Amino acid sequence: MAVTRSQSRVLPMAADLYGDIEPSPRATWRGYLPGLAIVAAGTLAAGFISDHYGAPLTLMALLIGLALNFLSADTRLTPGLAFASRSLLRWGIVLVGVRVTFGQIASLGPVALLCVLAIVAATIGAGILVARRLGFDTAFGTLAGGAVAICGASAAMALATTLGERRVGQAQLTLVLVGISAMSATAMVLYPIAAHALALSDLRAGFLLGASIHDVAQALGAGYSYSDAAGGIATIVKLTRVALLAPVLAVVALFLPRGEAGAKGPGIPWFVVGFFVLAGINSLGVIPAFAATGAERVATGLLAAAVTATAIRSPLSQLLEAGPRPLLIILAASAIAFALALAAATTLIG
């Protein structure tokens, strides 16, 4: 696998939920302003197009962000873009809890949970099998398949930390991050189109999108571009996948020990806990209607801003330099996840 030294040192800027893809940039409040101004302008433009032409807000935010991708080369924008793609995404996820109740979660039923567990396991297994068929080892297949199965780039970083440098090199990790970023953005555009073509109900579409799209921002964006109801279901399903990261890391550490002392992997992240706490409060009916409406609007804006920032920071140039074989593993795992999620949505859900 031909990877230059410079490639191996550069990590793509994906939706970094855990803050482990890159350190948080040190900056004063003024240092955040340039990047946040660009994100705000792009998000407002996306909102204008959405309002006037009826296009999905998050899809427009993604496309405008990709059009502004060249701005990621300006390091003055890095602190603000990083803050928007990470912190705004986390708080947007928390506020989405006002759209969800435990009644909706319970309506998914144990079958949906079992389906999510099966899809995650099968996707990781597919990544391992395809990787070995293409000449890679089990560790790289676990890295690629786990990133697809759980939560994209953040899962890749957590798995790489668990596996260790001896099993997964920096160059391999970079290629996975590049592929996941590109594939997740592609899925956000294509999967809702497929759901519309199949005339799926909100429940089934939400399950499909939440169970198959890689990164959290794109999964939520795709869900809410389909409908508000589908977005709520997609949020629940996707965050269930995120919560599976801790047990998956434990299994990986047990069966693929890194052979060296390492940092402990992340548990359930605070924004997932915050989402379910807010959903619980909302289930009690104690949140006033005006407050819930305001929180929903803020959540929509924050998620759109996070999608814009993530698209601006996506490493499009690196994708052309990476070699095809690692991307084939991600593509195969993505296809398995989509096929299984679609099968479950159409036969077992609803």
pLDDT in tens, 161-190: 677 766 766 567 667 777 787 788 789 889
Instruction: Name, in order, each residue with C-beta under 8 angstroms of 270's C-beta and a sequence gap of 6 or more.
Output: 90
The residue with tokens 């990781």 is 124
SS3 of residue 341 by DSSP: helix
The two three-digit tokens of residue 99, written as one number: 């759209």
Instruction: Name, in order, each residue with C-beta under 8 angstroms of 149's C-beta and a sequence gap of 6 or more.
Output: 119, 120, 121, 123, 124, 127, 155, 241, 248, 333, 337
SS3 of residue 165 by DSSP: coil
Please report, for residues 59, 142, 219, 294, the alpha-carbon distance to residue 314 in angstroms, rounded to integers and kept in the order given. 15, 23, 16, 30
Instruction: Name, in order, each residue with C-beta under 8 angstroms of 348's C-beta and a sequence gap of 6 or more.
Output: 111, 112, 115
Handedness of CA 105, 234, 297, 154 (dihedral sign): positive
Handedness of CA 293, 296, 302, 305 (dihedral sign): negative
**Domain membership flag for residue 209:** yes
For residue 144, the number of C-alpha atoms closer than 13 Å in the C-beta half-sphere is 36
- Rounded Cα gap, residues 17 and 218, in angstroms: 12
**Domain membership flag for residue 93:** no
Handedness of CA 339, 343, 346, 350 (dihedral sign): negative
**Domain membership flag for residue 9:** no
Residue 1 has pLDDT above 60, yes or no: no
- Count up the domains in the chain and report the number: 1
**Domain membership flag for residue 5:** no
- Rounded Cα gap, residues 327 and 329, in angstroms: 5
What are the tens digits of pLDDT across the range 302-348? 878 887 887 787 666 655 555 677 788 999 999 999 999 999 999 97
- Rounded Cα gap, residues 290 and 44, in angstroms: 23
- Rounded Cα gap, residues 137 and 123, in angstroms: 16
The residue with tokens 């389909």 is 226
The reported pLDDT for the residue numbered 11 is: 46
- Of 26-30, 31-35, 220-224, least confident by mean pLDDT is 26-30
- What range defines the domain where residue 168 resides? 100-302+315-347
**Domain membership flag for residue 44:** no
**Domain membership flag for residue 134:** yes
The reported pLDDT for the residue numbered 171 is: 62
Is the CB of residue 119 less than 8 Å from the CB of residue 341? yes
More confident residue, 265 or 199: 199
The reported pLDDT for the residue numbered 23 is: 52
What are the tens digits of pLDDT across the range 129-159? 999 998 888 888 998 999 899 887 767 766 7
**Domain membership flag for residue 196:** yes
* 9 Rama class: left (phi>0) / alpha (psi -120 to 50) / beta: alpha
**Domain membership flag for residue 16:** no
What secondary structure letter does DSSP report for 265?
P
pLDDT average, residue stretch 239-259: 74
How many CB atoms are closer than 10 A to CB 101?
Answer: 18
